[in-house]
Amino acid sequence: MCYKSYETEGLTCMLVFAIIAAVLGMFQFGYNTGVINAPQIILQEFISDIYEKRTGNVITDGFNELIWSITVSIFAIGGMVGGISGGAIANRFGRKGGLLLNNIFAILGGALMGLSKVSRSIEMLIIGRLIIGFNCGLNTALVPMYLSEISPVSIRGGLGTVNQLAVTVGLLLSQVFGINFLLGTAQGWPYLLAIAIIPAVLQLCLLPLCPESPRFLLISKQQEFHAREGLKRLRNSSNIEKDIEEMKAEERASQHEVKITMMELIKNKRLQLPLIIGIIMQLSQQLSGINAVFYYSTGLFVAAGLSEETSKYATIGVGCVMVIMTLVSIPLMDRAGRRTLHLYGLGGMFIFSIFITISLLVKFMYSWVTYLSVVSTLGYVVFFAIGPGSIPWMITAELFSQGPRPAAMSIAVLVNWLANFVVGLVFPHMQKGLSDYTFLPFTALLAIFWTFTYKKVPETRNKTFEEISALFRRDEVLNANGMNIDTTSRYRSTEGPVAEEKSVESYGTFSQTGGGLPTQDQHL
C-alpha cells in the first residue's frame, strides 16, 4: 500500500524507514552543535567550583575562559578527526556498518558528559565533547553518502535535503531543552548533554532493519546478489534492472578508481576540479556566517536592542524558521535544481547580511531598527535553509563516482569542520575588532561564493552518478559554464532491458538550472 501511494515519487516504506534511521546521525550533529551554548554560564560556574575545591584557589577569569573555550572547540576537533576517517570506515565497514559502529562513540561521549557532574570531573566533560565530536564528524561523512546511494535519481535532491532537516531539528531541540525552566539549570545540564545517547540507541535499534547501500555492495564488494536483494527492499519491486545497469555502468567507468585514497584523489588531475568545487561548496556553507548567527544570535539581538529574555526566544524562533524553510526546500530541490537554489540562497544571504550591518549601525537612531535586525536575521536564515544549508552535503557526494566518493567526502567534511572551528574561534574577536561591521567579511565572502557557483558549479539534478562524473572527463572536452564537458564519450541509459545510447551533450550542459537564472552555455 505504501509503495503504491508513492510510486510516482519513487518513495517506498523501506526507503523512508532507512532515511529516518540514517538521519538520526545528522540529528546528533545538530543537537550537539547547539546544546553547549545555552548552559554556558552554569557550566563555567561548574568549572570554577571544581577548580576551587581541587586547588583551594579561586580560578581567574582568563583561565576559566580558556577551559571553557577548550570545552567548546574540542567538539570541532573531534569532528575533523571523525570526518577525515569517514572514507576509510565507509570502505571497510560499509555505509550502514560504519553508522552502526559509530553509535558506540555517541553512547560513550554522552555518558561521559552526563556523568561529569556527579563525578566532579572537568576532564570527563571535555573528553566526552571530543568523543561526541568524533561521532558527529563521522556522521557528516557517512549519512550523506548512504542517502545519496540508496535514493532514486529522480528524488535524490529532495531526500538529500532531509540531512539538513535533521540538523535543524537537532539544533532547535537543543535550544528548546536548554531554556531555563527545562534543562538549562544547574541540576538539569547533565541530562541536557546526556540526551545524545537517545538517538544513538534509537539508530542501533532501527538501522539493522535497513539494507546496506546496494551501490557499495555491487561496486565495492562485488556482491551483486545482496545488492539486488537490498534494491528490491528499497524499491519494493522486482523491476530493478535500471538501477543495476546504472551501477554497472558506473563500475565499468571507474574500475581504476576503486578505493582511491585521499592523497591519490588530490593528485588526480581529472578529479581536481570536482574536488575544488566540493571544497568551495563546503566553505560556502560554513564561511557564510550562519554559525555566527547560531552561536551568537542571542548576543546579536541584545546588541540590536532586544531584552535578554526576548533575545533567547527570538533565537528559538530562528531555529523554527530553519526547520520550516528546510521542509519547504525539499520539493524544490528536484524541481529548481541544486545550482539554482544555491545561487538564490547565497544571493539572499548577501542582501540580508548588508541589512544586518545597517541595523547594527543605526540601532540607536530609530526604534524600528530593532525589528529590522530581527527580520534581517530571519531572512538570512531563510535563504541559508534554501541553498547553502543542505546542498553542499549533497552535491559533494554527487560529483564523484563510487571509487573516489568516500575519500572526497572525507576531505569535504574535514574542510567543513575546520571552517566551523575557525568561525567559532574567530567570530568573538571579530565582534570586538569590527564592532558594528562584524558581518561585512561574510558579505564579501558570500559575493565570492556566489560568483564561483555561477561560473563553475554544474547542475546535477536528474543526472546519474556516471553522467555527472562524465562532465569532468578530459579526453576531448568542451568548456561550458566554466566546466570541462566530454563531447565524444557516449554512455548507456537504460529503460528496463532496452538500452539507448546518449551523448553527453544530451544531458551534459548546464542550461537546465531552473528558476530562470541565466547560464553561460546558451551558445551550445
* 395 φ, ψ (degrees, to nearest 5): -70, -30
* 54 φ, ψ (degrees, to nearest 5): -80, -40
Residues 313, 315, 318, 319: what is their CA dihedral angle, to the nearest 10 degrees?
Answer: -90
Chain-centroid distance, C-alpha 77: 17
For residue 513, the model assigns a pLDDT of 34
Chain-centroid distance, C-alpha 375: 25
Distance from C-alpha of 280 to C-alpha of 452, rounded to nearest angstrom? 8
Which residues neighbour 206 within 8 Å (Cβ) at sequence distance 6 or greater? Answer: 17, 20, 21, 24
For residue 280, the model assigns a pLDDT of 93
**Helix, strand, or coil (residue 502):** strand
* 485 φ, ψ (degrees, to nearest 5): -115, 125
**Helix, strand, or coil (residue 500):** strand
**How many angstroms separate the Cα of 359 from the Cα of each of 163, 290, 303, 373?**
32, 17, 10, 5
Distance from C-alpha of 469 to C-alpha of 462, rounded to nearest angstrom? 13
**How many angstroms separate the Cα of 244 from the Cα of each of 93, 104, 225, 463?**
22, 33, 11, 15
DSSP string, 325-361: HHHHHHHHHTTT-HHHHHHHHHHHHHHHHHHHHHHHH
Q: What is the DSSP letter of 213?
A: P
pTM: 0.75
Task: Go through 176-198 and write b for each residue having 16 or more CB atoms within 10 A of its CB, e for each that does not.
Answer: bbbbeeebbeeebbbebbbbbbb
For residue 483, the model assigns a pLDDT of 45
For residue 114, the model assigns a pLDDT of 94
Burial class (CB in 10 A: 0-12, 13-18, 19+), 96: buried
Write out the chain's pLDDT in tens, 524 residues: 444 433 435 678 899 999 999 999 999 999 998 888 777 788 889 999 998 888 888 888 888 888 888 888 889 899 989 988 888 898 889 999 999 999 999 999 999 999 999 999 999 999 999 999 999 999 988 998 898 888 887 777 777 678 888 988 998 898 888 887 788 888 899 999 999 999 999 999 999 999 998 988 888 888 889 889 988 898 888 888 888 888 888 777 666 555 677 888 888 888 888 899 999 999 998 898 887 776 666 666 776 666 767 777 777 888 888 888 888 887 877 777 888 889 999 999 999 999 888 887 877 776 677 778 778 888 898 899 888 888 887 788 788 876 787 888 888 888 888 888 888 777 777 877 887 788 889 999 999 999 999 988 888 777 776 677 777 664 433 344 444 444 444 334 334 433 433 333 333 333 333 333 433 333 32
Question: H helices within 236-368, ranges in order?
Answer: 241-253, 262-267, 269-286, 290-303, 308-333, 338-361
